[in-house]
Structure 1
Amino acid sequence: MQASNPAAGSHGGAAARPARPMRALRSGGIGIAAAVTCLVLAACAAKPLVPYSADTPPLALVPASQAGVQDKRARFREIYCAVLEAHGSALADYRRCEDALTRVGVEPAGTGMPVDLGQSRRHLVAVVVPGVGYDCFKPWLNAPGTVTKHLQPFGYDAIMLTVDGLSSSANNARQIRDAILAMQLPAGAPQLVLIGYSKGAPDILEALVDYPEIRGRVAAVVSAAGAIGGSPLANDAEQFQADMLRYFPGSTCTSGDGGAVQSLRPATRRAWMAQNPLPGGLRYYSLATFPQPERISSILKSSYEKLARVDARNDSQVIFYDQVVPGSALLGYVNADHWALAVPIARTHTMIGSLFVTQNAYPREALTEAVLRFVEEDLATPGK
């Protein structure tokens, strides 16, 4: 799931560092990024955040028992652990299973069923929709495409859709529609698993609601650290701050329709969910990021602490319950911050990783394989 969303960060902590690391930061092309990450979702804004009041929780993003969410963490843990164990240290950024997922509350016991690690029968394709600003810093990131390379020998595949990084969810929904309809797909059962990372998740939901012609091509939808309920950080941000990403080194992105920040505000997302029931007949899954505090990169600590004024159970950008699609199957809570889930900064920019994006290592290849294996198994389960 190598997509990206530089939603927020901090230049405050970086400024206190010695001059040499700061020069390294600038020479690596992230001097601008360090300032911009502080701005995109207002980690450095002056206005304080306030907790959600008891009578106005994020719509549908309350505890699973109140949102019709099915708790499938036990089976997903079994599949993910089997994938990690099968690949072991051959994986980049390998972690033990207990360190890869966070246990939250009472997690159901495992099923004990065997895990099929063979060839995919359905040949599912992960179609990743990235978050805010990805097209702005994609050239600089220069992601190695290791997720796709990892999946293909098992009969899966992965592609990333191009959407406007600084546009609204409505604008990007149309782009998602156009891309899906342009795909040459084999006849038979739908293969596409739409994976929305950060803002990419509400972009996908709007596409499914607004363009019913694409639904027959979609096997499932996954929110991966998705901003389903938005982020309180967006309440303090303005679009001109996000537009600074246009000056990222190598960027050729445009401002689009200028609606990215508005689309991420909780009030916007709540209103949209209230007015747009999700289409039936599709499978929805949620994979939330819920890191242990020591798993948050130093550059993201400021936004984590600011968001903690609302709820400390956040990944530095989004609160854990704001990542859950109502009525979905909850796969698990990933022990990684918002960037670590999908943005391989430390792999392609090692100095920046060692100085600032200090907890960016995560076995994304194994995680994506586990998601597709879970979805394939779940789609084949009779009576669902």
Structure 2
Amino acid sequence: MQASNGIARSARRLRALRYAGVRMAAVAACVASVACATKPLVPYSTDTPPLALVTASQAGVQDKRARFREIYCAVLEAHGSDLADHRPCEDALTRVGNEPAGTGAPVDLGPSGRHLIAVVVPGVGYDCFKPWLNSPGTVVTQLRQFGYDAIMLDVEGLSSSANNARQIRDAILAMPFSGSTSRLVLIGYSKGAPDILEAVVDYPEIRSRVAAVVSAAGAIGGSPLANDAEQFQADMLRYFPGATCTSGDGGAVQSLRPATRQAWMANNPLPPDVRYYSLVTYPQPERISSILKSSYEKLARIDARNDSQVIFYDQIVPGSTLMGYVNADHWALAVPIARTHAMVGSLFVTQNEYPREALTEAVLRFIEEDLATSGK
């Protein structure tokens, strides 16, 4: 009888894993089915990308990749294999073009003096698959050892950026604030980045509390994958295992269309009293998970320098500081699927391993140093 019960439990677990995998495949197929504009292919290359340099020059982007690399490498070396998914620094970041030489300055790996708090705004549908993902919270544990902290800010994953900007504003104003030193680092992942930008533009009352804004694989310029998508496709995420999310105002897909984002950027200058940073995903093609290959190839009809969801230059905030190009696909940067669902990882998200704890620590250390040197 015990053996029969054990077999039954194993069968149920296997069915659950299969169900989760099928759901993930359906979501990815939904994204991958979107038709892209037929433009000449720009092949994958790590040579100097002319378009990026022109865009950066015109928008006043500062290239500080060299210093970020020094800090990230120091963090990775200090922690070594103590953290999950460890990679050598050279494999964690992609060298693109003529990356400037490092400063050679020492890297302070001691306790934070400013006690920055990473406030992460997630992307499309996160509130739908958050229960299933069951993230272990290891990033928060890592940061707290050094006087930093992190929270995931709840927004409606299927709503518009305008709707979520208001939710970001309300959440920030509800947080304790001494009125002296700004400590919040708003990190927007994917659609979370434009959600944050709309918040700092539309709600000036939150700016005094914000030390910096980071686009992490952010859809700043939108994604061509959204051009022919419909909201009902995104709403498929409401049927993810354990999901309790709603459609919200139904504006997620519209908010991600390039025309929407470009029009918003043209009509909404970013306030200069906030510091902006860009962390761009620029994976080597072999670092794209199997489930994301189709969407990567569709975006490659425009530009092969994409992370499967967003082209690299669409991730950069105008006037920001460019921290680095990360050798990870869109999901690997921020969604630890393979850690909590090993079978799904082995079958679908085959390149999901990435040292996110070390990366987040390096981001906060870099920003703390940069703010100090700039007098902010």
Superposed displacement of residue 26, structure 1: 5.3
| Counterparts in 2 of 1:68 and 1:382: CA distance versus 1, 3 Å | closer
The CA distance in 1 between the partners of 2:258 and 2:40, in whole Å, is 10
Q: What is the aligned counterpart of 2:138 among 139, 146, 151?
A: 146
Superposed displacement of residue 25, structure 1: 7.6
Structure ranking higher in helix proportion:
2
Which amino acid in 1 is paired with 2:82? Answer: A
Q: Summarize deviations over 1:297-332 as a string: whole Å, max 9, x none.
A: 011000000000010000000000000000000000
1:44 aligns with 2:33: yes
**Structure 1 stretches of 5 or more lacking a match?**
1-19, 54-58
The CA distance in 2 between the partners of 1:37 and 1:254, in whole Å, is 19
Sequence identity (%): 81
Q: What is the aligned counterpart of 1:226 among 218, 224, 243?
A: 218
In structure 1, the residue matched to 2:89 is 97
Q: What is the aligned counterpart of 2:21 among 20, 30, 37?
A: 30
The answer to whether the Cα contact below 8 Å between 1:91 and 1:363 also exists between their aligned partners in 2 is yes
Which amino acid in 2 is paired with 1:31? Answer: V
In structure 2, the residue matched to 1:16 is none
The CA distance in 1 between the partners of 2:225 and 2:36, in whole Å, is 10
The answer to whether the Cα contact below 8 Å between 2:36 and 2:227 also exists between their aligned partners in 1 is no
Superposed displacement of residue 52, structure 1: 8.4
Which amino acid in 2 is paired with 1:112? Answer: G
1:315 aligns with 2:304: no
The answer to whether the Cα contact below 8 Å between 2:163 and 2:249 also exists between their aligned partners in 1 is yes
The CA distance in 1 between the partners of 2:289 and 2:180, in whole Å, is 44
| Counterparts in 2 of 1:341 and 1:316: CA distance versus 1, 3 Å | same
The CA distance in 2 between the partners of 1:71 and 1:34, in whole Å, is 37
SS at the partner of 1:215?
A: helix
The CA distance in 2 between the partners of 1:264 and 1:329, in whole Å, is 23
| Counterparts in 2 of 1:235 and 1:344: CA distance versus 1, 3 Å | same
Q: What is the aligned counterpart of 1:372 among 364, 367, 372?
A: 364
TM-score by length of 2: 0.91
In structure 2, the residue matched to 1:204 is 196
Q: Number of paired residues? A: 356
**Structure 2 stretches of 5 or more lacking a match?**
1-10, 42-50
Q: What is the aligned counterpart of 2:118 among 126, 129, 140?
A: 126
The answer to whether the Cα contact below 8 Å between 1:61 and 1:321 also exists between their aligned partners in 2 is no
1:246 aligns with 2:258: no
The CA distance in 2 between the partners of 1:255 and 1:48, in whole Å, is 25
The answer to whether the Cα contact below 8 Å between 2:182 and 2:208 also exists between their aligned partners in 1 is yes
Q: Summarize deviations over 1:38-81 as a string: whole Å, max 9, x none.
A: 21xx3113x4422389xxxxx99963223210000000000000
In structure 2, the residue matched to 1:64 is 56
1:263 aligns with 2:252: no
Superposed displacement of residue 356, structure 1: 1.1
Q: Summarize deviations over 1:114-159 as a string: whole Å, max 9, x none.
A: 0000000000000000000000000000000100000001000000
Structure-to-structure mapping, 1:282-361, within 5 angstroms: 282-361=274-353
Which amino acid in 2 is paired with 1:370? Answer: A
Superposed displacement of residue 188, structure 1: 1.8
In structure 2, the residue matched to 1:9 is none
